[in-house]
């Protein structure tokens, strides 16, 4: 009664407490204007407006504890004790000598069911406050502590008579936590959990207390288990206490040691292991689920398809038959479709799982179209978890991982999707799998060819390479064997001092290259260049050839191989050391930007891309033929029935040599180049 009366008198006094400030004081106090407005609003009993003004004053003067207190009393007037409690806590933090703010904070902690914090604050003030505050805090502390002590003693005696008394363990743990006996509380929360493991709210209590004790690993395990349990309220409370990052595998395992019967937790771990391509471990987890929870049709279906994927039909069929007999008719129909069995004709009821799947599917599609690939991946994963035999989702997961440059994951999803009963899905997945699979095989052979005609030289040039790489596990370097071809049809210009227009050689080499990461790779090789011309006096038929360098290639926007129209930008950067050119280092940059048009239905689906070229070449020896810039328009085109890597191009370029010492021709030139690029990998 006294405390409430005092608060009322103080709050009424706030309305008359507007300080008389001089004009100079008002000018130097950033909080003056909002405070003046707040007190005026208090006089009019416009408490909501006053609260907003007090918050403006706090923003202007965040270190002023008195403003926090005035705001707290106003919040009490509007019936917001929790918000008021937090403002008193901040006021006391800013001014630790204000024991009255501390007492208000403690009383509000008690009123809002934070008895442990209230007891701790009263205990602190009764030991270090002024005389009046010590007396008030001491009495309040005794009023809280005495019943807790008596309750702990009473429930301890009850446990002496019956160690399996769940209520005694639970009540004793609750009272011990309120009295700050955290080790005692943790011990009895754990005992209560062992007696009733289906009540996962006890895991939230246990995780909270372990966190207070500094046992972070044990706390995460308990909260993670609770967050994946079947009690929605407990799961929500646990997620609020967990860190926002996604758990690691070892944290899932620690949680399962504490809660081994948590099917939802084990299933999520299994899917995480699948995403990490740890298939054997994922299979073990799904086996545990299907053994302990035979009614879990979702896990049975996933395990069945994992076994089918490695051609273990004997192990897969009993699991899939279990799904066919389950009450989940939609999942059963997916299995029938995958096994090419007749589907049911009766109408299936709409389930919560189906609703979640459809919502996630719509979000995934919108994210995918907008280019938010990480969001699309998240939602597609949800769809796959709720419907693990939807092959179109597997295909979309493959493309999403591919566009995120996570091809090792992409090839796994394409491999699953190519088993689809839908011929179109299976064919698309097969093509994608064929394109990606070679880079993960032991041997990978790549062939590329670039023939083109140059109007400047009135000559047909051709460049090509056949390269076989050896993949050694996850080693970052890959040895390879290579044969390059560089040649032209005209061979020379000039009569007195003929100039050869290309190397006119087959170049055999042995080298090593890094795997491409983000479009960047490095390589080095040693070999021999064998000229196929017999009349070149300045070189021998076979010449040692040492090469190496770094290469970067990246494309952005709507590239020619995509399906939609839009702007694009491509860049290719190379730095190459070549021993045959006086041990020189050549630097190339080739850039192209423009617009890709949608397929033209009337021309067989012709895809056309127009762009502008901006190229430059330089070398460290400053030779005229290796130092020039070029720019000009170009067009590329292809038909969808052509091989995926076949593209025709025509470019009209204006060039200029940046170094002209020794140049027998004009420094500027025009050149029209027409040719095609073709490549494949096996």
Q: Are 332 and 322 in contact (CB under 8 A)?
A: no
Q: Are 202 and 225 in contact (CB under 8 A)?
A: no
Using one digit for the tens of pLDDT, what is the confidence trace for 628-674? 999 999 999 988 778 767 899 999 999 999 998 888 888 999 999 99
Q: Integer distance in angstroms from the first to the last C-alpha of the chain?
A: 87
Strands 520-531 and 542-557: antiparallel
| Confidence (pLDDT) at 539 | 53
In sequence order, what are the residues at sequence separation of 6 or more whose Cβ sits closer than 8 angstroms to the Cβ of residue 303? 283, 286, 287, 289, 290, 316, 319
Tokens of residue 10, six digits: 């103080």
Distance CA 590, CA 573 (A): 6
Distance CA 24, CA 101 (A): 30
Using one digit for the tens of pLDDT, what is the confidence trace for 599-639? 877 777 788 999 999 999 999 988 888 899 999 999 999 88
Query: Same CATH fold, 446-681 and 352-440?
Result: no
Half-sphere exposure in the Cβ direction for 596 (13 Å, CA): 21
pTM comes to 0.45
What backbone phi and psi angles, to 5 degrees, belong to 380? -65, -35
Q: Are 173 and 156 in contact (CB under 8 A)?
A: no
- Rounded mean pLDDT for each run of 10 residues along the chain, 682 residues in total: 45 45 53 84 85 86 86 85 86 84 85 82 83 84 83 84 85 83 86 82 85 86 79 77 81 84 83 80 82 78 77 76 70 64 47 60 70 75 76 86 80 84 84 75 83 90 90 80 85 48 82 85 91 60 88 87 80 92 90 90 84 95 91 92 84 94 88 90 74
CATH code, 2-113: 1.25.40.10
In sequence order, what are the residues at sequence separation of 6 or more whose Cβ sits closer than 8 angstroms to the Cβ of residue 671? 454, 455, 456, 630, 652, 653, 655
Asked if the 446-681 domain carries CATH number 3.40.50, the reply is no
What backbone phi and psi angles, to 5 degrees, belong to 636? -125, 150
With H, G, I as helix, E, B as strand and everything else as coil, classify residue 153: helix
C-alpha distances in Å from residue 453, one per residue of 342, 489, 589: 58, 10, 21
| Confidence (pLDDT) at 593 | 95
Q: Are 560 and 638 in contact (CB under 8 A)?
A: yes
With H, G, I as helix, E, B as strand and everything else as coil, classify residue 503: coil
Using one digit for the tens of pLDDT, what is the confidence trace for 201-259? 888 888 888 888 888 888 888 888 888 766 677 777 788 788 777 888 888 888 888 88
Q: Are 415 and 434 in contact (CB under 8 A)?
A: no
In this structure, the dihedral spanned by the alpha carbons of residues 275, 279, 281 and 284, taken in order and rounded to 10 degrees, is: 120
| Confidence (pLDDT) at 496 | 38
Q: Are 605 and 572 in contact (CB under 8 A)?
A: no
Give the Cα-Cα-Cα angle 460, 485, 608 (nearest 5 degrees). Answer: 55
In sequence order, what are the residues at sequence separation of 6 or more whose Cβ sits closer than 8 angstroms to the Cβ of residue 38? 50, 53, 54, 57, 70
Q: Are 609 and 595 in contact (CB under 8 A)?
A: yes
Distance CA 212, CA 206 (A): 10
Distance CA 222, CA 210 (A): 9
Tokens of residue 85, six digits: 């409690």
- For residue 600, what is the DSSP state? B
Choices 1.10.10.10, 3.90.76.10, 1.20.140.10, 1.25.40.10: CATH for 352-440 = 1.25.40.10
Q: Where are the domains of the chain?
A: 2-113, 352-440, 446-681
What backbone phi and psi angles, to 5 degrees, belong to 322? -60, -40
Which residue do the tokens 């050839």 mark? Answer: 545
Between helix 297-309 and helix 407-417 the angle, nearest 10°, is 100
In sequence order, what are the residues at sequence separation of 6 or more whose Cβ sits closer than 8 angstroms to the Cβ of residue 324? 332, 335, 336
What backbone phi and psi angles, to 5 degrees, belong to 562? -85, -170
Which residue do the tokens 């204006």 mark? Answer: 654
| Confidence (pLDDT) at 674 | 95
Chain centre to alpha carbon of residue 118: 41
């Amino acid at each position: 009664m006294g405390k409430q009366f005092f608060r009322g008198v103080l709050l009424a006094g706030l309305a008359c407490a507007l300080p008389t400030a001089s004009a100079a004081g008002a000018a130097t106090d950033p909080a003056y204007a909002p405070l003046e407005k707040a007190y005026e609003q208090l006089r009019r009993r416009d408490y909501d407006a006053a609260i907003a003004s007090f918050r403006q004053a706090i923003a202007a003067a965040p270190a002023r504890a008195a403003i926090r207190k005035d705001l707290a009393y106003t919040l009490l007037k509007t019936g917001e004790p929790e918000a008021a409690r937090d403002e008193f806590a901040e006021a006391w933090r800013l001014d630790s000598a204000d024991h009255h703010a501390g007492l208000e904070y403690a009383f509000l902690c008690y009123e809002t069911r934070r008895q442990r914090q209230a007891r701790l604050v009263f205990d602190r003030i009764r030991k270090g406050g002024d005389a009046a505050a010590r007396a008030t805090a001491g009495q309040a502390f005794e009023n809280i502590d005495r019943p807790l002590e008596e309750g702990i003693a009473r429930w301890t005696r009850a446990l002496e008579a019956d160690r399996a008394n769940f209520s005694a363990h639970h009540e004793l743990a609750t009272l011990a936590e309120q009295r700050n006996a955290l080790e005692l509380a943790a011990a009895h929360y754990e005992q209560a959990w062992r007696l009733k493991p289906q009540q996962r709210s006890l895991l939230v209590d246990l995780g909270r207390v372990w966190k207070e004790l500094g046992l972070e690993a044990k706390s995460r395990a308990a909260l993670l288990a609770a967050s994946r349990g079947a009690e929605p309220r407990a799961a929500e409370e646990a997620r609020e206490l967990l860190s926002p990052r996604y758990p690691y595998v070892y944290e899932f395992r620690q949680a399962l040691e504490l809660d081994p019967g948590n099917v939802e937790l084990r299933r999520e771990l299994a899917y995480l292991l699948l995403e990490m391509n740890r298939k054997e471990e994922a299979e073990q987890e799904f086996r545990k689920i299907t053994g302990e929870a035979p009614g879990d049709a979702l896990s049975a279906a996933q395990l069945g398809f994992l076994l089918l994927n490695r051609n273990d039909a004997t192990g897969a069929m009993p699991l899939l038959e279990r799904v066919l007999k389950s009450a989940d008719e939609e999942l059963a129909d997916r299995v029938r479709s995958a096994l090419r069995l007749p589907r049911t004709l009766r109408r299936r009821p709409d389930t919560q799982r189906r609703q979640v799947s459809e919502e996630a599917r719509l979000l995934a599609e919108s994210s995918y179209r907008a280019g938010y690939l990480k969001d699309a991946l998240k939602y597609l994963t949800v769809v796959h978890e709720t419907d693990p035999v939807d092959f179109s989702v597997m295909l979309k997961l493959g493309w999403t991982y591919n566009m995120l440059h996570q091809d090792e994951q992409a090839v796994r999803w394409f491999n699953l999707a190519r088993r689809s009963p839908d011929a179109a899905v299976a064919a698309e997945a097969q093509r994608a799998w064929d394109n990606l699979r070679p880079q993960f095989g032991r041997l990978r052979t790549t062939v590329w060819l670039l023939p083109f005609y140059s109007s400047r030289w009135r000559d047909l040039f051709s460049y090509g390479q056949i390269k076989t790489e050896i993949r050694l596990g996850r080693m970052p370097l890959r040895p390879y064997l290579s044969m390059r071809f560089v040649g032209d049809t005209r061979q020379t210009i000039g009569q007195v001092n003929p100039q050869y227009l290309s190397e006119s050689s087959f170049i055999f080499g042995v080298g090593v290259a890094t795997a491409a990461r983000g479009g960047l790779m490095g390589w080095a090789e040693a070999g021999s260049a064998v000229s196929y011309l017999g009349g070149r006096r300045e070189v021998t038929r076979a010449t040692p050839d040492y090469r190496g360098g770094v290469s970067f290639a990246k494309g952005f926007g709507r590239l020619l191989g995509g399906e939609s129209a839009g702007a694009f930008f491509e860049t290719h950067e190379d730095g190459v050391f070549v021993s045959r050119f006086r041990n020189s280092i050549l630097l190339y940059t080739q850039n192209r930007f423009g617009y890709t048009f949608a397929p033209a239905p009337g021309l067989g689906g012709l895809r056309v891309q127009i762009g502008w070229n901006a190229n430059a070449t330089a070398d460290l020896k400053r030779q005229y033929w290796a130092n020039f810039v070029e720019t000009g328009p170009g067009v590329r085109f292809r038909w969808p029935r052509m091989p995926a890597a076949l593209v025709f191009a025509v470019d009209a370029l204006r060039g200029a040599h940046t170094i002209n010492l020794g140049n027998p021709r004009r420094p500027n030139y025009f050149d029209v180049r027409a040719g095609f690029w073709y490549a494949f990998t096996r």
